[in-house]
């Protein structure tokens, strides 16, 4: 259990209130438990030396390491070297997105509400900028006045997300491409790229507008 001050209740504090003074650390008495059990805990600028001096007055539960026992007062950050967490580089992001059959397009319109829609797409890798194209095709739709098109006209900043889910969570990954979108009434090169990826488009090429996303930033994560 953790008190409202972020200090684990597993702390056993000596009868005498401990006070730590340091030129590099400032402390605030948090009064954990009764007054006679008050403990001075380091403020955010606490140095490791001051924490060590404070810890000598504490009997900490043996199953907890020092940084976890002291709790939020250390303001510690999760270790980036934790086994099984991988940030994917741009090349891997490109490869996995290009190989994906579908993704999700995220846009925001004038009402500031996020809008997500599954899409098929083609990715073009270029020396200057990567581009992703999405066509409005002949699949049945409730309206031709599509919200994704209205959103892009008002705010061209979009994101495209694809992922892999597996019951074995060690195989999970996701890729996000952030960029700026435009809408063209015709884009024959984009239609040809889509047709080379999807046989359905070779039989019935899309005849609607084409969304082109110029990718400005890649982000990717994998469990391993």
Helix (H, G, I), strand (E, B) or coil at 118: strand
What separation in angstroms does the CA of 97 have from each of 31, 42, 52, 83, 188? 54, 46, 48, 24, 22
Q: Which residues lie below 8 Å from residue 62, measured CB to CB, with a gap of 6+? A: none
Residue predicted with more confidence, 16 or 119: 119
Confidence class of residue 144 from pLDDT cuts 50, 70 and 90? confident
Per-residue pLDDT reduced to its tens digit, 182-191: 999 999 999 9
> How much is the pLDDT for 94?
95
Q: Judge contact between 216 and 178, C-beta under 8 A.
A: yes
The average pLDDT across 13-32 equals: 40
Per-residue pLDDT reduced to its tens digit, 113-143: 999 999 999 999 878 899 999 999 988 888 8
φ and ψ at 31, to 5 degrees?
55, 55
Per-residue pLDDT at 18 exceeds 70: no
By the 10 Å C-beta count (0-12 exposed, 13-18 middle, 19+ buried), 44 is classed as exposed
Per-residue pLDDT reduced to its tens digit, 61-114: 445 454 444 444 344 344 444 555 689 999 999 999 999 999 999 999 999 999
In the structure encoding, which two tokens stand for residue 72, read together?
A: 């939020």
Lowest mean pLDDT among 2-11, 124-133, 150-159, 187-196: 2-11
Global pTM? Answer: 0.62
The average pLDDT across 27-49 equals: 42
As a whole-number percent, the residues of the chain with pLDDT over 70 amount to 62
> How much is the pLDDT for 116?
97
Instruction: Domains for the chain: give ranges and CATH numbers.
Output: 12-74 (no CATH), 86-222 (2.30.110.10)
């Amino acid at each position: 259990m953790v008190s409202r001050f972020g200090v684990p209740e597993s702390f056993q504090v000596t009868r005498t209130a401990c006070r730590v003074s340091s030129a590099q650390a400032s402390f605030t008495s948090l009064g954990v438990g009764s007054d006679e059990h008050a403990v001075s805990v380091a403020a955010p600028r606490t140095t490791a030396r001051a924490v060590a001096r404070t810890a000598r007055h504490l009997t900490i539960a043996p199953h907890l390491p020092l940084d976890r026992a002291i709790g939020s007062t250390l303001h510690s950050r999760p270790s980036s070297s934790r086994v099984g967490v991988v940030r994917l580089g741009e090349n891997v992001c490109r490869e996995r997105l290009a190989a994906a059959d579908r993704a999700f397009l995220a846009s925001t319109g004038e009402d500031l509400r996020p809008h997500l829609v599954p899409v098929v797409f083609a990715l073009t890798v270029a020396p200057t900028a990567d581009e992703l194209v999405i066509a409005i095709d002949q699949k049945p739709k409730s309206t031709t006045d599509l919200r994704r098109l209205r959103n892009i006209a008002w705010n061209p900043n979009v994101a495209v997300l694809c992922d892999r889910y597996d019951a074995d969570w060690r195989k999970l990954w996701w890729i996000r491409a952030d960029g700026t979108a435009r809408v063209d009434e015709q884009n024959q090169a984009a239609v040809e790229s889509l047709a080379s990826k999807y046989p359905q488009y070779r039989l019935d090429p899309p005849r609607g507008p084409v969304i082109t996303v110029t990718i400005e930033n890649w982000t990717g994560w994998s469990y391993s």
